Amino acid sequence: MLVIAAPGQGAQTPGFLVPWLELPGFADRLTAWSELAGCDLIKAGTVADADQIRDTAVAQPLLVAAAIAAAEALAGQHVPLKGLSAMVAGHSVGELAAGAIAGVISPEDAMRLVRVRADGMAAAAAATATGMTALLGGKGPEVLAALDAHGLTPANINAAGQIVAAGTLEQLAALAADPPAGARLRPLSVAGAFHTSHMAPAVEALVAAAAQVPVSDPVLPLLSNRDGQAVDSGADWLERIVAQVSSPVRWDSCMAEMAARGATALIELPPAGTLAGLARRALPGIQRVSLIKPDDLEAARALLAEAADDPQAADRTQADHPGAAEHTDHPGDPGPRPRPESDRGE
């Protein structure tokens, strides 16, 4: 079974959208969504520097737009993607892209919601001096006990040995002075303590915005960051998306559910690499394609065709792209980035 995964904040790098704008219609979609997003998505993905795209109000709309537009380029149709033996999942803000891909909300409503989400989280982060620190290694129970002792929240549990702590700067400083055995600490360059109670004001704003958004039930299994389970109801998914802003991201649970559902391949939408790197270790043997540039679409389309309910679609795509996905490590999947995937703080 195929997994289509959308990354979260921290995956973006300067200029990552440049090659994608060469695809027909890609720039048009981003231009149309820029007004809804409240920022120039093309500028953000091409010429903006690292500091500019680190801004929550820019990064989150950019990530959602890039993932949806790439999914449409991959499938050759507007979302939702139908007729596939596939599941969809997004990491943190990537859940909004995943919801659009699975047909729960429209791409336009995804952009409206991500604007409210990003603005609300940026405002909440500015209210109190907070931050996030990745803990790499150590024993899970000991790491979690150390966070609890310092009043910190495990905001992201990405995989075994990869937990992100969030809280006030004073709490994080105390953790750094007394780290759990065997864990390496890496402070993250993020605006605040995302996915904690510090984001409660953002939840309030998102509740009001979500009330105006029509939803449908997903056309594909749609995994939730809350517990990794697939949601069957569009209304349930929307409630989870709102609550997720101040609740931990359990990507480890999502990957456990992928394994339980028989995942055999994963396509990570741009900016890709981080989630595929996590899958390399947590889902051994799974085929992975990271959509880093349009050249990677060939291998991804072969996997998509294999997942099509129409067997002839697989035959047609394989004939067009022979051997495109015969290997486990596609050149477009670099595995872990030089900046470790646990640097994902949102």
Give dist(CA 224, CA 99) in Å, integer: 10
CATH class of residue range 128-187: alpha beta
CATH among 3.10.270.10, 3.40.366.10, 3.30.43.10, 3.40.1410.10 for 2-125+197-343: 3.40.366.10
Task: Convert the pLDDT of each residue in 164-185 to its tens digit.
Answer: 999 999 999 999 999 999 999 9
Domains 2-125+197-343 and 128-187 share a fold: no
HSE-up (13 A, CA, CB side) for residue 174: 13
| 3-state percent helix, strand, coil for the chain, nearest multiple of 5 | 50, 15, 35
Give dist(CA 202, CA 92) in Å, integer: 14
The pLDDT of residue 28: 95
- What b-and-e string marks burial along 95-114, b requiring 16 or more CB atoms within 10 Å of the CB? bbbbbbbbbbbbbebbbbbb
| Alpha helix positions (H), 26-139 | 26-37, 41-46, 50-54, 56-75, 94-101, 107-127
Return the closest-CA partner of residue 341 out of 291, 266, 281: 281
Counted residue by residue, the chain has a size of 346
Instruction: Indicate which residues carry an active-site annotation.
Output: 92, 195
Task: Convert the pLDDT of each residue in 127-161 to its tens digit.
Answer: 999 999 999 999 999 999 999 999 999 999 999 89
> In 3-state terms, what secondary structure has residue 156?
strand
> In 3-state terms, what secondary structure has residue 135?
strand
Token look-up 């790439």 returns 70
The pLDDT of residue 314: 38
Interhelix angle 26-37/56-75, nearest 10 degrees: 150
Q: Give the residues of the chain that fall short of pLDDT 70.
A: 309-346
Q: Are 300 and 291 in contact (CB under 8 A)?
A: yes
The pLDDT of residue 189: 77
Task: Convert the pLDDT of each residue in 15-55 to its tens digit.
Answer: 999 999 999 999 999 999 999 999 999 999 999 999 999 89
Token look-up 């105006």 returns 212
The pLDDT of residue 58: 95
Domain-by-domain residue ranges, the chain? 2-125+197-343, 128-187
Tokens of 260: 């339980």
Tokens of 225: 């960051």
Tokens of 188: 């993250």
Q: What is the pTM of this model?
A: 0.88
Give dist(CA 93, CA 265) in Å, integer: 22
Q: Are 294 and 73 in contact (CB under 8 A)?
A: yes
Query: Going edge to edge, which strands form the sheet with 222-223?
Result: 230-231, 222-223, 86-90, 2-6, 265-268, 287-290
